[in-house]
Amino acid sequence: MNSLVSESRIEHDIRELASAPRNSRENPAGHAEAAEWIAAEFKRIGLVASRQSFEIPGQTPPRQGINVIGTLNGRTGNSPVPRSMLIGAHYDTVPGSPGADDNASGVVALLECARTLASEKSDRAIAFVAFDAEEMQTPAEGLHGSTAYVARLTPYDTPGAAIIFESVGFTSTSKKQRLPGSFRFLFRRTYKALVRQNFSAESLLLLSRGPGRAISRELEKSAATPAIQLPILPLEVPRWMPMFRNLRRSDHAPFWLAGIPAVMISDTANFRNPHYHRPTDTPDTVDSGLVAKAARMVINAIE
């Protein structure tokens, strides 16, 4: 199965998606082209593609966001589909940034998962969702696409789990991995893993909360297999802990708030990547091998 994940295709697709900024306010044409490209890829893979529109709050003039959804083994009628899950990644960018790592890398990892699981005839019901308006949309805080998606879920289509790709493509031999200062004391297991890795900027963070820890542990086991060998920083948030800002900065947070187990996978963005939210977040700074490992880790855990 891992052979179906292609690093050359990952590199090509990131260049395709990150050819221009994808912000609907500053670059509406580029944003629309990105949504169309993702929908076309979903159809090419053989998924049922759809769009979900929503109003982005706090916008003058009013502005609509678009979530792009690809469904594998969707439900029929009003019968819930067993073993359902969601794999998500946001496709919008901040103004002025082509967003190769943030978050073309996540969208392309999502597409690799979709291609492999569709080709392998997975019997799971999976929604692959490219969320819009994750980034800050002044004056309102972001996560609007995932918030709108979660708000419209019904008992028939609520996933049993969600996995979110958020910036999964930056590595460095010169930069050291960092974490917020307080995390050293709050999350001892995470910090011990970081020390064992000699603060190397080649790992991926697995952020989970409460019942999502079981999903994180499965991903961690998958990452350790000989075919992947991906260093992991496991960050497991207990249910009683407040959701500090650094714990809710991506599209996993609305799922947590709704009580849906969710895990965010990330290279930690600004805690490693000097190109974060900058015009220099270009495809040549992305490690396609790390993106491939992220996708393989998820595929193996699902199967």
Partner residues linked to 233 by β-bridges: 205
pLDDT reading at 174 higher than 70: yes
pLDDT (0 to 100) of residue 60: 85
Please state, as a whole number, how many other Cβ atoms lie within 10 Å of the Cβ of residue 242: 7
**16 in helix, strand or coil?**
helix
Of the pLDDT bands very low, low, confident and very high (cuts 50, 70, 90), residue 82 is: low
Partner residues linked to 234 by β-bridges: 206
pLDDT (0 to 100) of residue 122: 86
pLDDT (0 to 100) of residue 276: 97
Distance of CA 198 to the CA centre of its chain: 26
Cα dihedral 80/299/117/159 (nearest 10): 20
pLDDT (0 to 100) of residue 146: 98
Which residue type is seen at 100? A
pLDDT, the chain, mean: 94
Partner residues linked to 48 by β-bridges: 71
Say what the pTM is: 0.96
More confident residue, 115 or 59: 115
Report the candidate in 124, 123, 125, 111 with the shortest Cα–Cα distance to residue 4: 111
pLDDT reading at 253 higher than 90: yes
Please state, as a whole number, how many other Cβ atoms lie within 10 Å of the Cβ of residue 216: 24
Contact predicate 275/101, CB 8 Å: yes
Apex 65 CA angle, 62 and 67, nearest 5: 165
Report the candidate in 229, 160, 173 with the shortest Cα–Cα distance to residue 202: 173
Please state, as a whole number, how many other Cβ atoms lie within 10 Å of the Cβ of residue 302: 21
Mean pLDDT of 203-232: 97
Mean pLDDT of 222-229: 97
pLDDT (0 to 100) of residue 141: 82
